Structure 1
Amino acid sequence: MASSIKITLRNKPNKDGLFPIAIRITKNRKSTFIYTGHYIDKKHWDSKKTNVRKSHPNSVRLNNLIASKLAEAHKTLIDLQANDNVISSKQIKNQISNPLSSKSFNEIAKAYIEELKTNNKLTRMASDQVRINHVIEFSKSNDLQFREIDEEFLRRFMSFLKVKKSNSQRSIVNALVVIRTLYNRAIKMGVIERKFYPFGRDKIQIKYPETEKIGLSAREVEAIEMLTDLTTQEQHTRNVWLFSFYLAGMRVADVLKIRWSDVHDERLHYRMNKNEKILSLKLPKKIFPILAVYEVDKKRPHDFIFPEMKKADLKNLQDVLAKTKTATKKFNKYLVRLAEKAEINKKLTMHIARHTFGNISGDNIPIQTLQRLYRHSSITTTINYQANFIHKDFDEALDKVVNFGN
């Protein structure tokens, strides 16, 4: 059945006895109404011509408004029918009341954040929400339109992040990536035309800056292993850091979620938090003395090995994320002290355990093996990551040229 859109005066007066002018949308004999926000006395309404009589003092303005609203509604209906013949009166109403072209950056961003939350990507959700907030703060508007996000806007935004927010180049790039993601979504939804896309050749190009990944040497790890006279917190921090390093730089979020039931037959059987991959690793001998320290507190096979997650509300992923962040911050504070005691001049954090494994492994382990140890989905990721720690060829080439006198 064909859809129809008509203007009407609804028979539901307000407290002043005036009646609302509305657009009636009918599809499959089901009607829904969009109210214009204007009310008049019945005597000023011409039901045959469906317009406001000249007797009303603002008849010309109201009739112009009605004509405009009807034209917009009919245009929207035609667009909807061209793309999808199976639509309801409610769908038509929603699109007329809230057309895609009027959807703001903030509206698209909220839907994106909600999607991340639904998919339990809470770490990314938290970081991307901060980046979105920066865009809203810079624009000084909760109704920022995608048409306003052009090359000039983005260049000024980049300066804002660098000067006002003291963001690193990497952080600035991450913010641009979020904007690009939302812009692409807006294009697919029909909110903005692709011709306005501000990214790409001769426009705003997103290039990740090269970052130097520095890990500890084997000797520096030994220095940490041999430390004595540590406080209880320093000992605990060292245990967690070494546990991560011994298992190929396992991420701290995964380390803290390991349970005693994940360990059997001298292997670790575990599902990773980041990509849900299942891993099975033989436990190095150095890990068993660490496990022995915490086994005295073991009450049930399903208990966590480390204490940080024992009071977490495991049904609340945001609480788990918050406790992981708190624990990481605590560990990093004590790792600074451990570095000082071990006379290590390099930066020492939980994440450096991963860099350290890469640095010590160098080019001595087949790249396919490293891919499995790092739990990378793509071997290209492993190659790019490990390239930060392979210097042998460059060092030998430099020696051959410089040491010509030997």
Structure 2
Amino acid sequence: MASSIKITLRNKQNKDGLFPIAIRITKNRKSTFIYTGHYIDKKHWDSKKANVKKSHPNSVRLNNLIASKLAEAHKTLIDLQANDNVISSKQIKNQIASPINNKSFNEVAKEYIEELKTNNKLTRMTSDQVRINHVIEFSKSNDLQFREIDEDFLRRFMSFLKAKKSNSQRSVVNALVVIRTLYNRAIKMGVIERKFYPFGRDKIKIKYPETEKIGLSVSEVEALETLDNLTPQEQHTLNIWLFSFYLAGMRVADVLKIRWSDIYDDRLHYRMNKNEKVLSLKLPKKLFPILKSYEHDKQNSHDFIFPEMKKANLKNPQDVLAKTKTATKKFNKYLERLAKKAKISKKLTMHIARHTFGNISGDTIPIQTLQRLYRHSSITTTINYQANFIHKDFDEALDKVVNFGK
């Protein structure tokens, strides 16, 4: 039976909701796949033409790449058929994958970073680029091969991060996660065989260290709410923090992008920046005075509520990210002052608003409801997160023993 080679978009999406472009090899009705290393949204894929639609910002480049890889694959198949030594689709894949995917760690990493940039995953792009740079610096090679990344390499790399880069254990784990991600991509692309995979049982295990998440108590939040005689900068920072807290610890990047048009029927309707989930939240009464204090600066119904994004180049995601980072840094500086004025000894940052909501909610709100409020994709994530703030059982057990069961 004749063999066929086609480009296809696989149905299994990655954690970003994107789908892999792959070469499908079929022989005797059995198919196998070679992954190109590129992922796109389904809406950008033309299944009839088997190419990327013009709606994708890099459609021309991706289609040229697809055409090139398809041509190379067909050439290799013709050579194999001429020698009459092809038995299965897997054998065809092994022969085709070698010339197409003879890529170094650096090349796979570059494609990965470019993909994050194309899909506006700029926060992750920035942090992962730093981690990749550390790998390249440690290896002292611009042509690092995946075969070189074995258990010994990873152990020495972990020591390098701790000794030379002063990385915390969590930062070390984050770096390993990036390497694992790239290694898995390389396996799918046929760059490296799975038998060389350095992670897993009896190899390098990736486990996040336990971290203590500390939120404010009710009395501490009330102390912030009743602060007076604040400077305009301090008052604005407090408004942003309370706005975040009142809406279940909404991330600052989302808070700053809220427009007046997102609020109607006493509800906030918005799309979360991190995972693009749409949510509708009832506005707590405590929020209305905060909103009222910004109405004087309202230009039109589509204007941003808060000033930080008013001068941002919204067509440039990197500018939006830069302004968000600058604003967050500024807020955290003023939150230190506010904590002192409110006589709060705990560290107070924008992210603590989220921990505070978790701490005060404790085990009083159904976990399914919290999952929606936190905008978590998995309920397991919510359970693990909320476990940081539920101490009732431990407290009661301790009291029972210490007080001899009384």
**Matched position secondary structure for 1:212:** coil
Alpha carbons of 1:311 and 1:108: their partners in 2 closer, same or farther (altered >3 Å)?
Answer: same
Alpha carbons of 1:304 and 1:403: their partners in 2 closer, same or farther (altered >3 Å)?
Answer: same
- CA deviation vs aligned residue, 1:167-199 (integer Å, no higher than 9, x gap): 111111010010011111111111111111111
Cα distance between partner residues in 1 of 2:379 and 2:113: 30
Cα distance between partner residues in 2 of 1:76 and 1:391: 67
Counterpart residue number, 2:196: 196
2:187·2:193 contact (CA, 8 Å) conserved in 1?
A: yes
Deviation at 1:100, TM superposition (A): 2.3
Question: Structure 1: which amino acid aligns with 2:160?
Answer: F
Q: Normalising by structure 1, report the TM-score.
A: 0.76
Equivalences for residues 2-401 of structure 1 within 5 A: 77-78=79-80, 99-101=100-102, 103-401=103-401
1:76·1:95 contact (CA, 8 Å) conserved in 2?
A: no
Deviation at 1:75, TM superposition (A): 10
Alpha carbons of 1:183 and 1:348: their partners in 2 closer, same or farther (altered >3 Å)?
Answer: same
Structure 2 stretches lacking a partner, 5+ long: 3-74
Deviation at 1:116, TM superposition (A): 1.2
Deviation at 1:251, TM superposition (A): 0.5
**Matched position secondary structure for 1:381:** helix
Cα distance between partner residues in 2 of 1:367 and 1:74: 54
2:335·2:349 contact (CA, 8 Å) conserved in 1?
A: yes
- CA deviation vs aligned residue, 1:278-306 (integer Å, no higher than 9, x gap): 11111011101110111110010000000
1:217·1:359 contact (CA, 8 Å) conserved in 2?
A: yes
Deviation at 1:74, TM superposition (A): 7.7
- CA deviation vs aligned residue, 1:67-96 (integer Å, no higher than 9, x gap): xxxxxx989953998759999xxxx9x988
Deviation at 1:166, TM superposition (A): 0.9
**Matched position secondary structure for 2:388:** helix
Cα distance between partner residues in 1 of 2:194 and 2:365: 46
Cα distance between partner residues in 2 of 1:76 and 1:159: 48
- CA deviation vs aligned residue, 1:336-367 (integer Å, no higher than 9, x gap): 11111111111111000000000000011111
Alpha carbons of 1:294 and 1:77: their partners in 2 closer, same or farther (altered >3 Å)?
Answer: farther
- CA deviation vs aligned residue, 1:148-175 (integer Å, no higher than 9, x gap): 1111110010011111111111111010
**Matched position secondary structure for 1:244:** helix
Taking only the aligned residue pairs, the percentage that are identical comes to 82
Counterpart residue number, 1:30: none
2:77·2:92 contact (CA, 8 Å) conserved in 1?
A: no
Cα distance between partner residues in 2 of 1:105 and 1:369: 42
Counterpart residue number, 2:37: none
**Matched position secondary structure for 1:388:** coil
1:217·1:360 contact (CA, 8 Å) conserved in 2?
A: yes
Structure 1 stretches lacking a partner, 5+ long: 3-72
Question: Structure 1: which amino acid aligns with 2:366?
Answer: P
Cα distance between partner residues in 1 of 2:155 and 2:352: 33
Cα distance between partner residues in 2 of 1:293 and 1:379: 37
Cα distance between partner residues in 1 of 2:142 and 2:405: 68
2:97·2:189 contact (CA, 8 Å) conserved in 1?
A: no
Cα distance between partner residues in 1 of 2:220 and 2:184: 46
**Regions of 4+ moved over 3 Å:** 73-87
CA-based RMSD of the aligned residues comes to 2.5
Greater Rg by CA: 1
Cα distance between partner residues in 2 of 1:347 and 1:311: 31
Cα distance between partner residues in 2 of 1:76 and 1:158: 46
Alpha carbons of 1:76 and 1:351: their partners in 2 closer, same or farther (altered >3 Å)?
Answer: farther
Cα distance between partner residues in 2 of 1:95 and 1:366: 50
**What is the number of residues matched between the two proteins?**
328
Cα distance between partner residues in 2 of 1:78 and 1:110: 31
Alpha carbons of 1:106 and 1:405: their partners in 2 closer, same or farther (altered >3 Å)?
Answer: closer
Cα distance between partner residues in 2 of 1:109 and 1:185: 10
Question: Structure 1: which amino acid aligns with 2:232?
Answer: T
2:97·2:191 contact (CA, 8 Å) conserved in 1?
A: no
Cα distance between partner residues in 1 of 2:192 and 2:367: 44
Question: Structure 2: which amino acid aligns with 1:154?
Answer: L
2:170·2:209 contact (CA, 8 Å) conserved in 1?
A: yes
Alpha carbons of 1:76 and 1:404: their partners in 2 closer, same or farther (altered >3 Å)?
Answer: farther
Deviation at 1:236, TM superposition (A): 0.6
**Matched position secondary structure for 1:313:** coil
1:177·1:206 contact (CA, 8 Å) conserved in 2?
A: yes
Deviation at 1:249, TM superposition (A): 0.2
Cα distance between partner residues in 2 of 1:100 and 1:276: 33
Cα distance between partner residues in 1 of 2:81 and 2:157: 35
Q: Normalising by structure 2, report the TM-score.
A: 0.76
Alpha carbons of 1:258 and 1:100: their partners in 2 closer, same or farther (altered >3 Å)?
Answer: same
